[in-house]
Amino acid sequence: MATKEDFYAKVTPRRQRQTRPGTVKHGSCLDVLLSMGFPKSRALKALISTGGRNVQAACDWLFSHVDDPFLDELLPREYVLYLRPSGPLLHQLSHFWQQSRTLCGKNKAHNIFPHVTLCQFFMCADAKVEALCEALQTVVGQWRGRFPSPLPLELYTSSNFIGLFIDDSMAEVLKSFATDFAAEAAAKADVLVEPHKKQLHVTLAYHFPANHLTSLEKLAKGVDISLGCDWLAVLYSRDIRFANHETLRVMYPYTPQNEDELELVPGDFVFMSSVEQSGASEGWVYGTSMTTGLSGQLPENYVSRADECDTWVLHGTHSFLSCTSPTNSGGAVGGPFLDGQQESRLLDDHGPVDPPSLGVICHPMQMMRPTSQPLLPKRTLFVCRHGERMDVVFGKHWITQCFDAKGRYVRSNLNMPCNVLGRSGGYREYDKDCPITVFGASQARLVGEALFDSHTVIDFVYCSPSLRCVQTAHNILRGLQQDGKIKLRVEPGLFEWTKWVSGTSLPAWIPPTELAAANFSVDTTYRPHIPVSKLTVLESYETYMSRSFQVTREILAECNALGNTVLIVAHASSLEACTRQMQGLNPQNSKDFVQVVRKIPYLGFCACEEMGETGVWQLVDPPILPLTHGPNHSFNWRETLLQD
């Protein structure tokens, strides 16, 4: 029998080849693909890679992989058997995943969803997948009524590891189940499965900075391990070629300019190996597309880090509590499959959970991360006004009071910042783009701290290019303990109604690159939906409302499936302009709009939730209390206390 090393040795770059697929016909998926002239190996590979959905999906896969140099290589996939929690315990663990990311950033445990490993990764040829899945289904059926329930867990922590360990006696029972599966898999599918020999556990965190231990341990102690759970036996596979690669998610489209470059399509995944980076240019990486199988160089700022399990394929999910048989027990290639919602219900509920088979070959798992946020299933939009601004507190002439003849800044009040940023066009640029006060920064941190205390998870932050908005967003993230972890996306389309700008030109905003150089956590690779060049002075009210609606919709679409919660930090008018039409309402007339805006204080905060999948949103109560503050006039003790 060939070893894993033998197969890895075959994974080397080679000349690309091309074939010409036929046209789609109806009938059994495998039979139709064979009748079209596809070799059986290609047909099986396409069906397994697309979840056995239908001929069209398989053909699309074959079309996209027409130049894949490994299309005809008989490389088996790697498989693994896990126990996955469901129901209330899954919700608790998913919440831990979210909060630990928020507090401490990503650690190694986040690469895979919560699970107990029952066996090591093993190989199975495409032609044996159906038999392998039947083996799992058979063994789960034999173990119904024998599987230990509830499964006792105990929290364990060390300097670099936190996990929930299964009692030794119960762990031996689970290892017996894994041994039975290994025997059945060998008999039916002729595969070698090695049951997990180490202590069985659910990993919560490992390979994290030492200074995060206390916070992570506190979060872990908050997981209620006594909650009910139906442990599910799940079988996953991954592409053997990329088992030791880093997984990247494509964020922006890219058209190759040279022959050695890779085309990028948003939503695709790229596999990157550190050993292949030696020939890549600065700012570029070398990777392989999951969609096409092609390799090449790509701009590093067009991709973001993804979780390893984002590209895995689910081949079977079985409950030990349910005796319901699969919907389609025939196990034919191309049988029914589970869509994302069905799969979510499958993992979270306690009802029948045996899925349809091909051997239940299911579609690639694009969103199997716990960040699907079962505790916060609805997408949420927060809109917040900036903090207290300098020119309102100290008047329009604050600049002449604070800058000397040489343009040096001199602080003259405790509510003025100790330092201000240098401006490429000189300090007079502060006339139209003023900073926030010290109190303004404190207000923003208070809001961030309140969001942190309410366990609110922010996935993306967008802000107006106005300095007061950038500074406010920065301080909110500081209060949320996310500064440096979430990068601000500066979006000119979020600027206020340009009719309110004095003069005949827009402000000269500080570019994102200069903000980043000044230690603001700004995403310098972000491409605005509405660039500065598209903004016009003295725009009409209708244009402003249309612009705000457009940019809000595009921001939410950009973040869809990547995170549930978006925070926009902009202007008082933004709370109305960015949410009203999202609710399906027409804009108010301009006079009523102005009256609403006048009532919105600094750090005014609103929340909007999506109603199901209708695309319509509604305003809801924010997760934090309002922040009330009043005017505080300048105090001169000589004038007030030394009067006769």
Considering the domain architecture, whether residues 41 and 120 belong to the same structural domain is answered as: no
Give catalytic status of residue 386 as yes or no: yes
| pLDDT band at residue 60 under the 50/70/90 scheme | confident
CATH classification at residue 123: 3.90.1140
Question: Which residues lie below 8 Å from residue 3, measured CB to CB, with a gap of 6+?
Answer: none
Question: What is the amino acid identity at position 477?
Answer: L
Res 335 pLDDT > 80: no
Residue range 521-525: mean pLDDT, rounded = 94
Q: Which of 238, 386, 547, 580 is catalytic?
A: 386
pLDDT given at position 319: 86
Separation of alpha carbons 441 and 435, rounded Å: 10
pLDDT of 12 above 60: no
Note if 207 is an active site residue. Answer: no
Q: Answer whether residue 17 shows pLDDT above 60.
A: no
- 14 lies in some domain: no
Would you place residue 349 in the very low, low, confident or very high pLDDT band (cuts 50, 70, 90)? Answer: very low
- For residue 304, CA distances in Å to 100, 313, 568 come to 19, 21, 21
Asked if residue 238 and residue 164 are part of one domain, the reply reads yes
Instruction: Give the residue, 607 or 20, on which the prediction is more confident.
Output: 607
Range among 108-112, 245-249, 341-345 with highest mean pLDDT value: 245-249
| Domain-located, residue 412 | yes
**What tokens does 292 get?**
């096409």
Structure tokens at 221: 């102690």
Give residue 541's pLDDT. 95
CA angle 216, 222, 225 (to 5 degrees): 115
Query: Quick one: three-class SS letters along 65-94?
Result: CCCCCCCCCCCCEEEEEEEECCHHHHHHHH
CB atoms closer than 10 angstroms to residue 499: 13
Is residue 468 scored above 70 in pLDDT? yes
Of 268, 360, 353, 346, residue with least CA distance to 313? 360
**Does residue 54 share a domain with residue 121?**
no
Asked if residue 347 is part of any domain, the answer here is no
* Two tokens, residue 586: 């027409």
| Residue 437 pLDDT > 90 | yes
Picking from 366-370, 479-483, 586-590, which range would have the lowest pLDDT averaged per residue? 366-370
Are 88 and 46 in the same domain? no
**pLDDT at res. 642:** 53
Same domain, 451 and 425: yes
Q: pLDDT tens digits for 207-228?
A: 888 888 888 889 889 888 887 7
What average pLDDT does the segment 278-292 reach? Answer: 84
Residue 552 has pLDDT above 80, yes or no: yes
pLDDT bracket for residue 489 (50, 70, 90): very high
Arithmetic mean of pLDDT, 622-641:
70
Q: Residue 77 has what pLDDT? A: 87
Torsion of CA 496, 497, 502, 506, to 10 degrees: 70
| More confidently predicted of 620 and 329 | 620
Q: What does each C-alpha distance from 84 to 98, 118, 594, 633 come to in angstroms? A: 17, 11, 53, 60
For residue 203, pLDDT beyond 50? yes
In a domain, 634, yes or no: no
* CATH, residue 426: 3.40.50.1240
Lowest-pLDDT range of 522-536, 578-592, 605-619 = 605-619
User: DSSP states of 185-225 as a string?
Assistant: HHHHH-----B--S--EEEEEES--GGGHHHHHHHHHTS-T
Residue 114 resides in a domain: yes
**pLDDT above 90 for 502:** no
Cβ–Cβ under 8 Å, residues 163 and 153 = no
Query: 145-175 pLDDT, tens per residue?
Result: 888 878 889 999 998 899 999 988 889 999 9
Give pLDDT, residue 129.
Answer: 87
Task: Show which of 314, 342, 362 is a domain's final residue.
Answer: 314
161 and 256 fall within a common domain: yes
Same domain, 588 and 444: yes
**What is d(CA 432, CA 430) in angstroms, rounded to the nearest whole number?**
5
Most confident of 69-83, 248-262, 379-393: 379-393
Is 97 a residue whose pLDDT tops 90?
A: no
Higher pLDDT, 326 or 584: 584
Query: 125 is written with which tokens?
Result: 């040829």
Selecting among 318, 389, 489, 571, the annotated active-site residue is: 571
d(CA 266, CA 287): 15
> What is residue 23's predicted lDDT score, i.e. its pLDDT?
31
Per the listing, tokens 């003025």 go with 416
Residue 249 lies in a domain: yes
Please give the Cα distance from 163 to 353 (Å, whole number).
27
C-alpha to C-alpha distance for 439 and 414, rounded to whole angstroms: 9
Residues 115 and 225 in one domain: yes
- Three-state DSSP at 99 gives helix
Does residue 369 register a pLDDT over 80? no
Give the pLDDT confidence score for residue 189 in this predicted structure.
Answer: 93
> For residue 188, what are its two tokens?
């039916």
Q: Has residue 641 been placed in a domain? A: no
For the chain, the residue count is 644
Active site residue 249: no
For the residues 481-488, what does the mean pLDDT come to?
A: 90
Dihedral sign, CA of 215, 218, 223, 225? Answer: positive
Asked whether residue 375 carries a pLDDT value surpassing 60, the answer given is: no
The answer to whether residues 530 and 550 touch, using CB atoms and an 8 Å cutoff, is yes
Among 264, 300, 302, CA closest to 282: 300
Q: Are 222 and 113 in contact (CB under 8 A)?
A: no
Q: What is the mean pLDDT of residues 9-34?
A: 49
Q: Give pLDDT, residue 374.
A: 37
Q: How far is it, in rounded angstroms, from Cα 8 to Cα 619?
A: 54
DSSP string covering 433-487: S--B-HHHHHHHHHHHHHHHHTTPPP-EEEE-SSHHHHHHHHHHHHHTT-BTTB-
- The sheet that has 284-289: what strands, in order across it? 295-299, 284-289, 269-272, 246-250, 303-305
Are 189 and 43 in a shared domain?
Answer: no
3-state SS assignment for residue 320:
coil
Chain segment 413-427, per-residue pLDDT in tens: 999 999 999 998 999
Q: How deeply is 280 buried, as exposed, middle or buried, from its count of CB atoms within 10 A (0-12, 13-18, 19+)? A: middle
581: closest CA among 619, 540, 536? 619
Tell me, yes or no, whether 51 and 89 share the same domain.
no
Give the model's confidence band at 461: pLDDT under 50 very low, under 70 low, under 90 confident, else very high: very high
| 33-47, 140-154, 360-374, 477-491: range with lowest mean pLDDT | 360-374
Domain boundary at 292, 314, 336, which? 314
Q: Pick the last residue of a domain from 314, 330, 351.
A: 314
Q: Which of 385, 468, 474, 580 is catalytic?
A: 385
Domain that holds residue 506: 380-620
Backbone angles phi, psi at 80, to 5 degrees: -150, 145
Residue 295 banded pLDDT, cuts 50, 70, 90: very high
Q: Where does the pLDDT of residue 635 fall: very low under 50, low under 70, confident under 90, or very high at 90 and above?
A: low
Whole-number mean pLDDT of the chain?
82
Give CA–CA dist 93/114, Å, rounded. 7
CA distances from 72 to 40, 42, 129, 387, 416 (A): 10, 7, 18, 60, 68
Residue 100's pLDDT is what?
Answer: 82
Residue 503 pLDDT level (bands cut at 50, 70, 90):
confident
What is the tally of structural domains in the chain? 3
**Residue appearing with tokens 């940019």:** 551
Decide if pLDDT at 636 tops 90.
Answer: no
Q: Is 31 helix (H, G, I), strand (E, B) or coil?
A: helix
Residues 36, 100 within the same domain: no
Split at pLDDT 50, 70, 90, the class of 643 is low
Q: What is the pLDDT of residue 638?
A: 60
**217 and 111 in a common domain:** yes
* Mean pLDDT of the 408-412 span: 93
Whether residue 364 is predicted with pLDDT greater than 50 in this model: the reply is no
Answer whether residue 335 is part of any domain: no
In degrees, to the nearest 5, what angle opens at C-alpha 223 toward C-alphas 221 and 224? 110
Q: Tell me what the mean pLDDT of segment 316-325 comes to.
A: 69
Residue 256 tokens read as: 């190759």
